[in-house]
């Protein structure tokens, strides 16, 4: 229906989450109508983020250098680790202003049916970090079936290692987060209450 480059652009845009065919068409025509500078700035921003942004060597959050800004911040409490599934989950927790520890990004959640096993996530790296003077691990995985299974697996793994690293408190975000929702879409008040009222597992 459209010239090759336009069809290709629509096809690529429609691969984005939440973008259907009609929205992809509207975005494509918006880009065509935009000034050359604006369109090229968008293309350059996409290229730059793919080239320069990687994972933090400590917590596996998104980072422009070897370590993310949170891991580089000396004011953060390194005895407190908040475990999340994806880098996007760090942002809403930071917005609450309730948390001053550091993070650990797993890179997903356990889902054997989808072929995601413990070794596919950054769980082993978390256990190594806990061995170096961590007093509390806050499990902030999403309140979904896979998120709960991941939290329970990590809690059990930490209990198994208790002899090696001493007493580590394992907590879970409290009620306030609706079951089946993602952290990325939760508001600050709900997340703040959930962090303030976190509870021990097991």
DSSP secondary structure of 30-48: HHHHS-HHHHHHHHHHHHH
Helices 4-13 and 21-33, interaxial angle, to 10°? 120
Using alpha carbons, select from 59, 34, 55 the residue that is nearest to residue 126. 59
Q: What is the pTM of this model?
A: 0.78
Tokens of 112: 């054997």
> DSSP class of residue 34?
S
pLDDT confidence of residue 184:
84
The CA distance from 174 to 3, in Å, is 53
The CA distance from 61 to 105, in Å, is 6
pLDDT of 190 over the 80 cut: no
136-185: per-residue pLDDT in tens? Answer: 999 999 988 899 999 999 999 998 876 554 578 999 987 666 767 788 88
- Give the torsion sign (CA, 131, 140, 176, 147): negative
pLDDT of 53 over the 70 cut: yes
pLDDT confidence of residue 162:
66
Tokens of 29: 């025509």
| CB-based contact 35:28 (threshold 8 Å) | no
| CB-based contact 69:102 (threshold 8 Å) | no
Domains of the chain, earliest start first: 4-52 (1.10.8.420), 73-200 (3.40.1360.10)
pLDDT band at 70 (very low <50, low <70, confident <90, very high): very high
pLDDT confidence of residue 150:
96
Higher pLDDT, 185 or 78: 78
pLDDT of 189 over the 80 cut: no
Range 19-29 average pLDDT: 95
């Amino acid at each position: 229906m459209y010239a090759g480059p336009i069809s290709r652009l629509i096809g690529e845009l429609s691969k984005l989450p939440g973008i259907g065919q009609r929205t992809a068409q509207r975005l494509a025509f918006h880009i065509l109508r935009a000034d050359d500078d604006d369109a090229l700035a968008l293309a350059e921003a996409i290229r730059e983020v793919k080239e320069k942004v990687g994972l933090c060597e400590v917590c596996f959050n998104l980072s422009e250098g070897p370590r993310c800004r949170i891991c580089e911040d000396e004011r953060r409490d390194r005895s407190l680790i908040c475990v999340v599934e994806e880098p996007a989950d760090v942002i809403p927790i930071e917005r609450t202003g309730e948390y001053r520890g550091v993070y650990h990004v797993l890179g997903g959640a356990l889902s054997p049916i989808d072929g995601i096993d413990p070794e596919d996530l950054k769980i082993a790296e978390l256990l190594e970090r806990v061995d170096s003077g961590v007093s509390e691990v806050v499990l902030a995985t999403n309140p979904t079936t896979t998120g709960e299974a991941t939290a329970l697996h990590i809690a059990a793994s930490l209990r198994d290692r208790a002899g090696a690293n001493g007493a580590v408190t394992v907590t879970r975000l409290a009620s306030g987060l609706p079951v089946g929702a993602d952290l990325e879409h939760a508001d600050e008040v709900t997340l703040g209450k959930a962090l303030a009222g976190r509870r021990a597992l097991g």
